[in-house]
């Protein structure tokens, strides 16, 4: 008896986010949609993550219009998005009513499957979104972020899956955003989840390819009972991206598993993306090859480039090795958060500061918030000395409640502020754009009517700087094009200055 293995293709979202700095325009995806729609996928991931931000920041595209276009062109497919729990697609926690509105609108515009995660695996940051998705009648996929630490065991991940099941999730995703998931743990965790949650709970495995080993992990996850796996059509695969869809299908041949994918349609889609890919040459990730250093340093490859840049800007390019050794210590002090946006940037920047200024002499406000519980709870106890320093530095107290419980209702205020902006069309969708990207939305609203900045058209989008930007540098490890932080010392006081691209 052969068992069906379902596939989600990432080519419309995470593949170009990881390999082309999220720059692919809707126009360059349209041609492949009819084939993708009929190729036999379980779902097509096509929205969320950094794509919303990239649409309004770089492409002058309305992300909601992109979603409606996908819905129209792929009527037979489940459309899937990546949602950062209480953060939605923005940089902070939002009040529950904003989370509710977002999920309702995303469902109404076409999303069928919401993959909901939290960087710290704090279930309290996911539960409101799960409830909202269920209320909208859609598929809520609860996510377990995979990481490696002395406190993370198979049971840690299985327990989280059980909690997600209790919240009503329709499926569980094991998300390996940094390609750290090796074959044996992939097998053990998937089997553990299946055993704990029951054979009927679908388990979906997401991996990146950076370490070169994760197609074997998908094989082992399938052997352990995984129902769905994530891959990307081979035009945009490997490196900081994902395992190739075609290889997965071929891998199964002769084994007691099969996909229902149509390789002819996938070949046509591949030819389409092969043709548009050169448009994005200047955004291509430098991580096109295999990098297993991640296993040792625990630092995602894209983060290492960022750190090198940060250090060079500070005239300390020779300190990289020291910083690489500091990161695991900072991560330990912070209770072993998974290193994924935003925790990866927060921990990485603090490690740079520790090396340059002395250990915890300067504490960034974000790191203080992380130490004091404002991002949620972590798997291990935090270092009490560092917690004390964070309290002193930030003049804030530790919290143990759900961070969003501290927020007041904010929809009415956000709505009235958005409506004042020139070009805002008054829709809830526009209010959400403003809520998540208050610095970028005004320019986007006022220029939206000019139409998309496609790189594929004359006079269209071009790289603005000769330097690859932060998002390009960060490659797949960045869910958002992150702000760049500088250390500025005036006399004897040191300030953190955050520069965010407009």
Q: Judge contact between 245 and 263, C-beta under 8 A.
A: no
* Residue 305 binds its own copies (CB under 8 A): no
Of the candidates 44, 56, 53, 114, the residue with the CA atom closest to the CA atom of residue 82: 114
Segment near its own copies (CB under 8 A); pick from 10-18, 159-167, 293-301, 444-452? 293-301
Shortest distance (Å) from residue 246 CB to its own copies: 4
The single residue listed with the structure tokens 């009490």 is: 384
Alpha-carbon separation of residue 78 from 47, 145, 417 (angstroms)? 12, 23, 34
Q: Which 70-109 residues touch its own copies, going by CB under 8 A?
A: none
Of the pair 278, 409, the CB lying nearest its own copies is at 278
Residue/partner pairs of 272-279 with CB below 8 Å, 24 or more apart: 272/31, 272/32, 272/35, 272/235, 273/11, 273/32, 273/233, 273/235, 273/236, 274/235, 276/24, 276/28, 276/31, 276/456, 277/20, 277/235, 277/236, 279/28, 279/455, 279/456
Q: Judge contact between 481 and 470, C-beta under 8 A.
A: yes
Shortest distance (Å) from residue 247 CB to its own copies: 3
Shortest distance (Å) from residue 188 CB to its own copies: 8
Distance (Å, rounded) from C-alpha 118 to C-alpha 22?
Answer: 21
* Residue 20 binds its own copies (CB under 8 A): no
Cβ–Cβ contacts within 10 Å for residue 386, how many?
21
Of the pair 73, 267, the CB lying nearest its own copies is at 267
* Residue 279 binds its own copies (CB under 8 A): no
Of the pair 202, 301, the CB lying nearest its own copies is at 301
Of the pair 215, 436, the CB lying nearest its own copies is at 215
What character string, x for contact with its own copies (CB under 8 A) and - otherwise, covers 177-196?
Answer: -----xxxx--x--------
What angle do helix axes 96-109 and 411-419 make, rounded to 10 degrees? Answer: 60
Shortest distance (Å) from residue 303 CB to its own copies: 18
Shortest distance (Å) from residue 263 CB to its own copies: 8
Segment near its own copies (CB under 8 A); pick from 89-97, 287-295, 436-444, 481-489? 287-295
Q: Which 207-266 residues touch its own copies, going by CB under 8 A?
A: 211-213, 215-216, 219, 234, 237-238, 243-244, 246-248, 250-251, 253-255, 263
**Residue of 3, 135, 278, 288 interacting with its own copies (CB under 8 A):** 288
Residue 366 burial (C-beta neighbours within 10 Å; 0-12, 13-18, 19+): buried
Q: Judge contact between 5 and 226, C-beta under 8 A.
A: yes
Report how many residues bind its own copies under the rule CB under 8 A.
Answer: 34
Of the pair 140, 251, the CB lying nearest its own copies is at 251
CA distance between the termini of the chain: 55
* Residue 311 binds its own copies (CB under 8 A): no
Interacting residues with its own copies (CB under 8 A): 182-185, 188, 211-213, 215-216, 219, 234, 237-238, 243-244, 246-248, 250-251, 253-255, 263, 267, 288-293, 295-296
């Amino acid at each position: 008896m052969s068992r069906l293995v379902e596939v989600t293709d990432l080519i419309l979202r995470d593949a170009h986010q990881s390999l082309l700095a999220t720059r692919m325009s809707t126009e360059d995806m349209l041609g492949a949609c009819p084939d993708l729609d009929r190729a036999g996928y379980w779902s097509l991931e096509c929205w969320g993550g950094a794509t919303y931000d990239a649409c309004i920041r770089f492409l002058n595209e309305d992300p909601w219009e992109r979603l409606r276009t996908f819905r129209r062109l792929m009527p037979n497919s489940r459309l899937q998005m990546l949602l950062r729990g209480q953060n939605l697609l923005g940089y902070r926690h939002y009040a529950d009513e904003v989370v509710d509105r977002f999920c309702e609108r995303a469902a109404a515009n076409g999303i069928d499957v919401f993959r909901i995660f939290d960087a710290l695996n704090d279930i309290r940051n996911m539960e409101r979104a799960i409830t909202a998705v269920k209320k909208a009648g859609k598929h809520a996929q609860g996510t377990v972020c995979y990481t490696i630490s002395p406190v993370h065991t198979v049971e840690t991940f299985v327990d989280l899956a059980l909690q997600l099941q209790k919240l009503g999730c329709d499926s569980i995703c094991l998300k390996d955003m940094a390609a750290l998931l090796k074959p044996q743990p992939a097998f053990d965790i998937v089997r553990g989840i299946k055993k704990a949650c029951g054979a009927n709970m679908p388990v979906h495995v997401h991996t990146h390819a950076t370490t070169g080993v994760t197609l074997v992990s998908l094989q082992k996850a399938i052997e352990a009972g995984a129902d769905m796996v994530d891959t990307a059509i081979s035009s945009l695969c490997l490196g900081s991206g994902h395992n190739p869809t075609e290889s997965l299908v071929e891998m199964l041949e002769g084994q007691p598993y099969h996909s229902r994918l149509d390789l002819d349609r996938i070949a046509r889609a591949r030819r389409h993306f092969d043709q548009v890919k050169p448009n994005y040459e200047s955004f291509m990730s430098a991580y096109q090859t295999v990098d297993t250093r991640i296993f040792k340093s625990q630092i995602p490859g894209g983060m290492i480039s960022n750190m090198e840049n940060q250090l060079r800007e500070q005239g300390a390019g020779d300190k990289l090795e020291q910083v690489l050794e500091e990161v695991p210590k900072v991560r330990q002090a912070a209770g072993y958060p998974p290193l994924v946006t935003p925790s990866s940037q927060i921990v990485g920047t603090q490690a740079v500061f520790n090396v340059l200024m002395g250990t915890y002499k300067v504490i960034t406000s974000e790191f203080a918030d992380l130490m004091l519980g404002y991002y949620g709870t972590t798997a291990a106890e935090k270092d009490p000395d560092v917690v004390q320093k964070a309290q002193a530095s930030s003049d804030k107290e530790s919290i143990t409640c759900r961070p969003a419980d501290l927020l007041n209702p904010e929809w009415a205020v956000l709505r009235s502020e958005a409506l004042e902006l020139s070009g805002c069309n008054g829709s809830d969708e526009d209010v959400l754009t403003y809520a998540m990207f208050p610095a970028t939305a005004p320019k986007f609203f006022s220029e939206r009517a000019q139409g998309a900045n496609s790189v594929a058209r004359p006079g269209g989008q071009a790289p603005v700087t000769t330097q690859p930007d932060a998002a390009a540098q960060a490659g797949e490890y960045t869910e958002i094009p992150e702000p760049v932080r500088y250390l500025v010392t005036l006399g004897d006081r040191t300030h953190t200055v955050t520069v965010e691209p407009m």
